[in-house]
Structure 1
Amino acid sequence: MKKKTVGLALSVMLAGSAVLAGCSTGGGDKDSGSTDGKKNLRLTDTSDITTVDPAKATDSVAFNMIGNTMEGLYRLDKDGKAIPALAEKTDISSDNLTYTFTLRDSKWSDGSPVKAQDFEFAWKRAADPKTGSSYSYIFDTLKNGADVTQGKKPVDELGVKAIDDKTLEV
């Protein structure tokens, strides 16, 4: 009887230690934080990342990675409402056919500025049939979009244009 009680007590203590170890702040782990107050966030997913190319992504793992590392003109808030992200301001023409996005100051991870030309390039590349994007049809709603995605018109005729470094017209 005494052996059973001791065994049970040890089992409970061992299980409790394992649970409490999961609550550790990682004091000895030099990667868990730094002296400047920054913390590291490590995310895992269900399988390997297939691509980080937004034009070629087709699976949830790739979309999760892209969503966690890249920013678009807009993002969804906690209620699923579209709110500005890299778009500081959006002007819509009176006929509702032309959208002009003014970009906020932002930088790529290498420190170079994000420009309207980056969006123009990325959208035209994704719409180009040569890229083979499974989601190129999304650009069908733009001026000449369907003709561009079907290869009937050149990519340069897609209805997206960088007016200057901070202004994108769609």
Structure 2
Amino acid sequence: MSVYDFSFPKLTGSDNTSLADYKNQVLLIVNTASKCGFTPQYEGLQKLYETYRDQGFSVLGFPSDSFLKQEFADSEKTAEFCKLNYGVTFPLFKKSKMKGSDINPLFQYLVNETGTKKITWNFNKFLVNRDGKVIQYYGSRTKPEEIESDIQTLLKEEVNA
């Protein structure tokens, strides 16, 4: 199993998008929220995306209201908020749960792969290499710019055949 085995609808669409579409890219997978103290991290995530997307990097955002209901109920409102306030153009997926029996299966997989006990809050981040291997977990307090050197290192690595 790998991150490529999961599919989810985009935030403003109904068709499932396979994460296999991001094969051979370095990924930063993040659970997000629009009304959280860490929400300004959207700006840093967008900057990383703009800086490195042409080198094979993508940020994948998964909005959630699992922690104090800090996400809009309406997907369109979330998309508009992210675009207007932070210029977000990286892929955002439908709102999903980050804890309990309904946890998004991708995040359950990421937690299991990193040995992290659980998603602790909004803006937990998981770095995935070009082969789909989960490399690192970063908590909410880790700012996107603090991950940049790790992204640069992974972008230089070859894809295993």
TM-score range, shorter chain: under 0.3
Answer 1 or 2: higher relative contact order, Cα 8 Å, separation at least 6: 2
Q: TM-score, normalising length from structure 1?
A: 0.25
What TM-score comes out, normalization by structure 2 length? 0.26
Q: Whose radius of gyration is greater, 1 or 2?
A: 1
